[in-house]
């Protein structure tokens, strides 16, 4: 009986450790992890009606997000992330309960509930096989019910197809393919861009240009039947700019207005019953414009805040006194009158001026808010909303989008709330150690009175006693939890000997550099390093670690590289990472295409880089003579490659070794590897990866030597999509390439497979994910490379001493080894089925590389899954022997398990997940994981779970 119990206990222990759990218990969720939610850079905004109790702003963003924001707090009420190929093009309110969106070149029309964001209905305006037609996408809400469902309908224009749909359920009432009608005469090849209500009741005007952009095109359509009743085309003496046209719709008379192709003139045409008898007249602009914007009604604007009033009588400049650098909002109609107002927003170094102007050019409201938007790069766009004050007079609020993606709501001369939306578009991440205690004060706090501090501590002790005795109310329990969180060790701003506390420095697409505390995700500091007001768009495109923390506790620095102020130049900016201060900035007279990190630092501990420009000239950075002497010994071993995805080619380069004392060199191309298929993915090892063991000991005590060449490259090619569409069988080919010589070390073909391919390279193995057409499911494959060179089998010390004593020392001759010779490698591979799509891949990192690896998968459901590397071992046996069991090999199963507890994000989603950045803690068992997309998520894991 004791032996049976021992056997059962052993089986239970083995089964419980079969998959080493990286999961956490339910009550541990939120202990070490946190998340923050964003919407991105706002591009469009509409506001809920003023008579609704819930005040909301409905926005769409550059991150392809549709969201509802609480106007009182700025919190996200609800949001939806659209697919990458389903770009939002227009949003509008239909009634009080329906929010209409049109996306994917007008193909998808959807209605959302304004309260909860529920999808009410979805319709397609055309099939994917429909011919592509030049023109615009437009949705026109109608103040009328044409299908008898007591709900206003909408008219949709997309790809030259005009449709009337029910606003209640999106059902099609009629459709008219305008493109098919344009077959002869002046209408041949016309392009439609906008819809407007016609002067004739029950009709609309579809406005556009002829194919040559030399004449206007107007079609008058009956809303009951969808038939084109009248057409008109008026020739222009100058070419017209496509899509830069609109119709003035006020009571002073409707008119067509467009921008000339050179941006120097406004073209005007009075509109009336068709056919038209007028002609286009040109109004010269004081300065060329790249945009003609319809503010609303008969108000239009060009570059430089130039406002024009357009009606049947002509084009006249606005009378409002507006600053040249002001940003204008769209116009809106006040609730108590027919007048229209718009706002101009002007930023200065210390304040922001808002001026609300009516359509007569009179300033109704002028407010100055203490808000420095220039430190945010200036104003990108603004949106105006009106409401009724308690004294029944109209009030105004302005939603401002800064160039760094920050979002502000201004009302009655104050900033109501602010959102830092730059973190929705992170493109580079760096982990940074915090300063030692007492060295640097990162967060300044007001001194607390000792008596108040004593009272607070006594209150918390009493509350803790009540909680333990179960006398506390839910409010007191919540207050105690909040107190513990506020004073938790993980939130301290000092160096952690275990390496758990760090700053996460994130570089964002709009050019804002943000440091987050990994304890709770709060922003410690934020610095704008992008283009300033009045400068062309551009932000740093890469971030590199420049210095690490030294014994003198100097602050670490990062190097940012981005477009310079002059064409063909690069701006190099150094930023100190404890306070976000810019320590230096310089303009480099070349455009950086590649960055090479050298294993050399200068006398100040700064990393030395080689910057490769577009002409393949290599520059030393910092380019000093002292640094040139420091890197002289390593230059002969510098090799790099470039990936040309457009031509499916990889090229290798080296530096000349005979040139001494220089700070720039001309790279020499040493090899080129063209592929017959389309190059879809390349990946290599991270340069700071730590490898603990260079060997793998098998169950029979034999040894395999890992092939740990840092110049090893993985590449994947696939059959081009157009050939697959023609009937060719898809094929995916994986390559292991020596990046110094360009020689292919190993190649394997996967028949019936195609991309997209996601891959990760660590130590001597690579794991990649792809789609199997034959199996109709996802697959993951692993390749492990081992060194089979004969020198690995050289005699050991004692064996060499014995051979010397026996007079056989000549057999121990030293052999020359060349990196240009094809190495003898052994590659083991295996493939597995995987039931989820993968958007991004990474691998856990630890301080010494002793801990087992976890493959971090960003799934198509926007979650992060930790998959043990041993599940992807190519040596998993079908029938394990005793030696296999001793080695710890898992029996082979073609299906990789997905264990719900291994989702690091638990029940959360990282909307728009794009990348996963891992870093080691000082404690070997722990790895830090940061996932980013539109949202961000952080946690720490213990891959070996020991």
Identify whether 350 is part of a domain: yes
What is residue 292's predicted lDDT score, i.e. its pLDDT?
87
Whether residues 86 and 161 fall in one domain: no
What is residue 401's predicted lDDT score, i.e. its pLDDT?
96
Nearest partner of 684 among 743, 733, 643, 637, judged by Cα: 643
d(CA 413, CA 467): 45
What is residue 40's predicted lDDT score, i.e. its pLDDT?
94
- Per-residue pLDDT tens over the stretch 317-360: 887 788 888 999 998 888 766 678 899 999 988 899 999 988 78
> Within its chain, how far is the Cα of 786 from the centroid?
37
Identify whether 844 is part of a domain: no
- Per-residue pLDDT tens over the stretch 868-884: 999 999 999 988 888 88
Structurally, the chain folds into a number of domains equal to: 5
- The answer to whether the beta carbons of residues 190 and 210 sit under 8 Å apart is yes
Phi and psi at residue 365, in whole multiples of 5°?
A: -140, 135
What whole-number percentage of the chain has pLDDT above 90? Answer: 42
d(CA 537, CA 546): 26
Identify whether 453 is part of a domain: yes
Identify whether 19 is part of a domain: yes
Chosen domain end from 219, 235, 251: 235
Task: Band the pLDDT of 6: cuts 50, 70, 90.
Answer: very low
What is residue 672's predicted lDDT score, i.e. its pLDDT?
94
Under DSSP, is residue 389 helix (H, G, I), strand (E, B) or coil? coil
Domain that holds residue 6: 2-31+446-491
Of 274 and 932, the structure prediction assigns the larger pLDDT to 932
Identify whether 358 is part of a domain: yes
Residue 778 clears pLDDT 90, i.e. is over it: yes
* The residue count for the chain: 946
Using CA atoms, how far residue 118 sits from 67, 78, 879, in Å, is 12, 9, 52
Nearest partner of 220 among 233, 202, 206, judged by Cα: 206
Pairing relationship of beta strands 119-124 and 191-197 according to DSSP bridges = unpaired
* Mean pLDDT, residues 833-837: 93
Based on its alpha-carbon atoms, the radius of gyration of the chain, rounded to whole angstroms, reads 33
pTM, whole model, 2 decimals?
A: 0.87
Residue 512 clears pLDDT 90, i.e. is over it: yes
Pairing relationship of beta strands 542-547 and 557-563 according to DSSP bridges = antiparallel
- Per-residue pLDDT tens over the stretch 534-571: 566 667 888 888 875 544 567 899 999 988 888 888 99
Whether residues 86 and 105 fall in one domain: yes
Whether residues 745 and 823 fall in one domain: yes
Task: Band the pLDDT of 234: cuts 50, 70, 90.
Answer: confident
Residue 945 clears pLDDT 80, i.e. is over it: no
Chosen domain end from 185, 201, 235: 235
Q: Which of 275-279, 820-824, 835-839 has the highest mean pLDDT?
A: 835-839
Whether residues 763 and 827 fall in one domain: yes
Q: What is the CATH number of the domain that holds 407?
A: 2.40.128
Under DSSP, is residue 926 helix (H, G, I), strand (E, B) or coil? coil
d(CA 759, CA 264): 51
Residue 647 clears pLDDT 80, i.e. is over it: yes
Identify whether 880 is part of a domain: no
Whether residues 18 and 58 fall in one domain: no
What is residue 794's predicted lDDT score, i.e. its pLDDT?
55
* Mean pLDDT, residues 899-903: 90
* Mean pLDDT, residues 69-92: 94
d(CA 487, CA 508): 30
Q: Which of 166-180, 239-253, 487-501 has the highest mean pLDDT?
A: 166-180
Work out the angle at residue 249's Cα, subtended by the Cα atoms of residues 243 and 252, and round it to the nearest 5 degrees.
135
Of 840 and 52, the structure prediction assigns the larger pLDDT to 840
- The answer to whether the beta carbons of residues 718 and 757 sit under 8 Å apart is yes
Residue 17 clears pLDDT 50, i.e. is over it: no
DSSP letters spanning 428-495: EEEEEEPPPTTT---S--PPPPHHHHHHHHHHHHHHHHHHHTT---HHHHHHHHHHHHHT-GGG--S-
- Per-residue pLDDT tens over the stretch 569-606: 899 999 999 999 999 999 999 999 999 988 888 887 88
Identify whether 271 is part of a domain: no
Residue 485, sorted as left (phi over 0), alpha (psi -120 to 50) or beta, turns out to be: alpha
- The answer to whether the beta carbons of residues 360 and 319 sit under 8 Å apart is yes
What is residue 186's predicted lDDT score, i.e. its pLDDT?
42
Task: Band the pLDDT of 628: cuts 50, 70, 90.
Answer: confident
Under DSSP, is residue 764 helix (H, G, I), strand (E, B) or coil? coil
Largest CA distance in the chain: 114
User: Residue 153, exposed/middle/buried by CB under 10 A (0-12, 13-18, 19+)?
Assistant: buried
d(CA 598, CA 879): 47
Identify whether 554 is part of a domain: no
- The answer to whether the beta carbons of residues 417 and 74 sit under 8 Å apart is yes
DSSP letters spanning 97-166: TEEEEEETTTTEEEEEETTT--EEEEEESS-TTSPP--S--EEEE-SS-SSSSSS--EEEEETTEEEEE-
Whether residues 102 and 173 fall in one domain: no
Whether residues 146 and 117 fall in one domain: no
Token reading at 44: 């469009």
Nearest partner of 246 among 259, 262, 236, judged by Cα: 259
Whether residues 702 and 800 fall in one domain: yes
Task: Band the pLDDT of 5: cuts 50, 70, 90.
Answer: very low
d(CA 66, CA 62): 10
What is residue 11's predicted lDDT score, i.e. its pLDDT?
38
What are the respective helix, strand and coil percentages of the chain, to the nearest 5?
10, 45, 45
Using CA atoms, how far residue 219 sits from 190, 211, 244, in Å, is 11, 15, 18
Using CA atoms, how far residue 654 sits from 408, 595, 703, 742, in Å, is 50, 14, 35, 12
Chosen domain end from 201, 235, 269: 235
DSSP H helices, 323-383, are: none
Residue 265 clears pLDDT 60, i.e. is over it: yes
Whether residues 823 and 727 fall in one domain: yes
DSSP letters spanning 28-81: GTTTS-EEE----SEEEEEE--TTSSS-EEEEEETTSEEEEEETTT--EEEEEE
DSSP-derived secondary structure letter, 903: B
- Per-residue pLDDT tens over the stretch 296-324: 888 888 888 888 888 877 888 887 788 88
Pairing relationship of beta strands 76-81 and 88-94 according to DSSP bridges = unpaired
Whether residues 153 and 213 fall in one domain: yes
Residue 378 clears pLDDT 70, i.e. is over it: yes
Nearest partner of 430 among 545, 315, 520, 340, judged by Cα: 545
What is residue 727's predicted lDDT score, i.e. its pLDDT?
85
Residue 4 clears pLDDT 70, i.e. is over it: no
* Average per-residue pLDDT for the chain: 84
What is residue 790's predicted lDDT score, i.e. its pLDDT?
62
Whether residues 352 and 469 fall in one domain: no
d(CA 525, CA 558): 15
Whether residues 681 and 741 fall in one domain: yes
Residue 14 clears pLDDT 50, i.e. is over it: no
Of 44 and 252, the structure prediction assigns the larger pLDDT to 44
Using CA atoms, how far residue 478 sits from 32, 451, 521, 816, in Å, is 19, 24, 20, 71
């Amino acid at each position: 009986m004791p032996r049976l119990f021992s056997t059962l206990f052993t089986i239970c222990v083995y089964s419980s450790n079969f998959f080493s759990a990286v999961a956490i218990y339910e009550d541990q969720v939120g202990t070490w992890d946190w998340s923050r939610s964003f919407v991105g850079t706002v591009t469009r905004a509409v506001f809920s009606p003023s008579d609704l109790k819930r005040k909301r702003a409905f926005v769409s963003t550059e991150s392809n997000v549709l969201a509802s924001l609480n106007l009182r707090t700025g919190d996200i009420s609800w949001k939806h992330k659209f697919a990458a190929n389903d770009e939002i093009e227009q949003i509008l309110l239909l009634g009080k309960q329906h929010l209409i969106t049109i996306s994917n070149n007008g193909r998808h029309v959807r209605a959302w509930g304004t309260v909860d964001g529920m999808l009410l209905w979805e319709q397609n305006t055309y099939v994917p096989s429909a011919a592509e037609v030049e023109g615009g996408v437009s949705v026109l809400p109608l103040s009328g019910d044409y299908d008898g469902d007591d709900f206003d309908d909408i008219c949709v224009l997309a790809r030259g197809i005009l449709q009337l749909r029910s606003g209640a359920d999106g059902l099609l009432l009629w459709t008219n393919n305008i493109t098919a009608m344009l077959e002869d005469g002046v209408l041949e090849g016309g392009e439609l861009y906008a819809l407007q209500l016609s002067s004739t009741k029950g009709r609309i005007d579809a406005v556009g240009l002829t194919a040559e952009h030399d004449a206007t095109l107007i079609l008058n359509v009956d809303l009951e039947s969808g038939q084109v009743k009248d057409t008109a085309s008026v020739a222009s003496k100058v070419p017209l700019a496509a899509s830069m046209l609109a119709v003035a719709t006020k009571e002073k008379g409707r008119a067509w207005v467009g921008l000339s192709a050179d941006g120097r003139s406004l073209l005007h045409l009075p509109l009336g019953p068709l056919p038209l008898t007028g002609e286009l007249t040109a109004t010269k602009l004081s300065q060329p414009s790249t945009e003609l914007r319809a503010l609303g009604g008969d108000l239009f604007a060009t570059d430089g805040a130039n406002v024009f009033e357009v009606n049947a009588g002509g084009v006249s400049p606005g009378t409002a006194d507006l600053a040249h650098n002001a940003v204008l909002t769209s116009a809106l109609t006040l609730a108590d009158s027919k007048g229209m107002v718009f706002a101009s927003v002007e930023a200065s170094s210390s304040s922001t001026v808002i001026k609300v102007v009516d359509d007569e050019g009179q300033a109704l409201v002028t407010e100055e808010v203490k808000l420095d938007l220039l430190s945010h790069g200036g104003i990108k766009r603004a949106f105006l909303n009106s409401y009724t004050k308690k004294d029944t007079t109209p009030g105004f609020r302005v939603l401002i989008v800064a160039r760094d993606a920050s979002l502000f709501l201004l009302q009655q001369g104050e900033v109501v709330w602010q959102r830092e939306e730059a973190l929705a578009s992170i493109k580079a991440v760096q982990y940074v150690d915090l300063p030692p205690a007492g060295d640097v004060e990162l967060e300044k706090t007001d001194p607390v009175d000792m008596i108040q501090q004593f009272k607070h501590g006594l209150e918390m002790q009493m509350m803790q006693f009540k909680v333990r005795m179960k006398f506390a109310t839910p409010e007191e329990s919540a207050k105690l939890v909040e107190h513990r969180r506020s004073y938790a060790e993980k939130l301290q701003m000092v160096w952690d000997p275990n390496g758990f506390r760090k700053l996460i420095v994130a570089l964002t697409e709009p050019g804002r550099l943000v440091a987050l505390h990994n304890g709770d995700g709060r922003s410690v500091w934020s610095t704008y390093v992008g283009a300033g007001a009045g400068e062309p768009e551009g932000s740093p495109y890469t971030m590199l670690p420049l210095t690490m923390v030294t014994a003198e506790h100097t602050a670490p620095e990062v190097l940012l590289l981005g477009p310079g102020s002059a064409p063909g130049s690069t701006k190099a900016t150094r930023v100190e990472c404890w306070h976000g201060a810019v320590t230096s900035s310089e303009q480099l007279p070349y455009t950086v295409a590649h960055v090479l990190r050298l294993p050399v630092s200068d006398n100040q501990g700064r990393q030395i880089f080689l910057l490769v420009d577009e002409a393949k000239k290599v520059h030393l950075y910092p380019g000093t003579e002292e640094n040139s002497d420091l890197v002289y010994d390593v230059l002969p071993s510098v090799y790099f490659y470039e990936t040309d995805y457009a031509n499916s080619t990889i090229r290798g380069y080296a530096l000349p070794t005979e040139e001494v004392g220089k700070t720039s060199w001309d790279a020499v191309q040493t090899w080129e590897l063209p592929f017959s298929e389309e190059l879809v993915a390349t990946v290599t090892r991270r340069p700071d990866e730590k490898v603990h063991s260079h060997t793998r000991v098998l169950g029979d005590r034999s040894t395999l030597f890992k092939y740990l060449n840092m110049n090893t490259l993985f590449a994947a090619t696939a059959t081009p999509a157009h050939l697959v569409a023609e009937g060719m069988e898809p094929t995916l080919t994986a390559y292991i390439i020596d990046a110094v010589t360009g020689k292919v070390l190993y190649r394997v073909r996967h028949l019936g497979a195609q991309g997209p391919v996601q891959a990760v390279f660590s130590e001597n193995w690579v794991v990649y994910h792809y789609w199997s057409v034959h199996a109709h499911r996802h697959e993951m494959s692993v390749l492990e490379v081992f060194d089979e060179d004969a020198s690995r089998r050289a005699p050991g010390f004692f064996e060499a001493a014995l051979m010397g004593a026996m007079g056989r020392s000549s057999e121990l001759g030293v052999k020359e080894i060349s990196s240009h010779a094809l190495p003898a490698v052994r590659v083991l591979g295996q493939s597995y089925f995987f039931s989820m799509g993968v958007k991004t891949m990474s691998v856990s990192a630890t301080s010494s590389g002793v801990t087992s690896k976890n493959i971090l998968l960003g799934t198509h459901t926007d979650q992060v899954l930790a998959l043990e590397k041993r599940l992807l071992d190519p040596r998993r046996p079908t029938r394990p022997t005793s030696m296999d069991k001793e080695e710890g090999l898992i029996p082979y199963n073609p299906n990789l398990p997905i264990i719900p507890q291994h989702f690091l994000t638990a029940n959360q989603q990282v909307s728009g997940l794009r990348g996963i950045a891992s870093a080691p803690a000082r404690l070997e068992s722990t790895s830090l994981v940061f996932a980013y997309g539109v949202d961000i998520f952080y946690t720490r894991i213990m891959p070996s779970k020991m």
